[in-house]
A and B are shown apart, each in its own frame.
Chain A
């Protein structure tokens, strides 16, 4: 079946540091890939997405590129802020789940210190 693997957290960074969160997936065909962010006490928010190979999703300074050859969708940000402290989830929607079911990774907590 489909699965998503993320790097374990917490990831602790200083403000303005470079952030990378690794995400790899297992799925048949060409799934759609997503990054969601969850701030404390809030629901998950869609951060960015990519629906086909080599697509780059971007939002709020975050980027991720859909790499079919390495089955990866790593999240990056060049200069993090304290406000980026949150839990980040990588997710996929399989090709047979066109109605919308998402498979999530376990999440990676990011802590940014001033």
Chain B
């Protein structure tokens, strides 16, 4: 068990480009979450998957954002037509069914810089 893996660790992109991030959760965890963390702030919830189903989305997740979790394993988060305001750390976390009472396991995050 190597924990939650996120790739890439860092991404620099030009405004208007599309980017995609990947998250590999702990293998036996059926719940997966995406959060966004801006400098000096706590993480903000973006979306939640239980197995392959996306069950909850924050209004922070604009139409330019899309997340998938095919086959209930890894997940991708895509941002289309990036804007400078998208610059942030994108965190993935996973948990088992009992996880909400015991906390998640977070990945190290993908830091996005839009120039």
Contacts and interface: CB of A to CB of B under 8 A. Distances in A.
A, B in one complex: yes
Interface stretch (A13-21, A64-72, A73-81, A104-112): A104-112
Contacts of B104: 46, 100, 102
B74 interface: no
A98 interface: yes
B113 to A, nearest CB: 16
A32 B107 contact: no
A91 B106 contact: no
A104 B43 CA distance: 6
B42 A99 contact: no
Nearest to B55: A99
A46 B103 CA distance: 6
B15 to A, nearest CB: 26
Contact of A106 (B41, B55, B106): B41
A41 B89 CA distance: 11
Contacts of B56: 99, 101
Interface in B38-55: 40-45, 48, 50, 55
Given A4-B42, A43-B108, A43-B109, 20 more contacts: A36-B103, A43-B4, A43-B106, A44-B43, A44-B91, A46-B103, A46-B104, A46-B105, A49-B103, A51-B101, A91-B42, A99-B48, A100-B33, A101-B33, A101-B48, A103-B45, A104-B44, A105-B42, A106-B41, A107-B41
Interface of A: 4, 32, 34, 36, 41-46, 49, 51, 89, 91, 93, 97-107
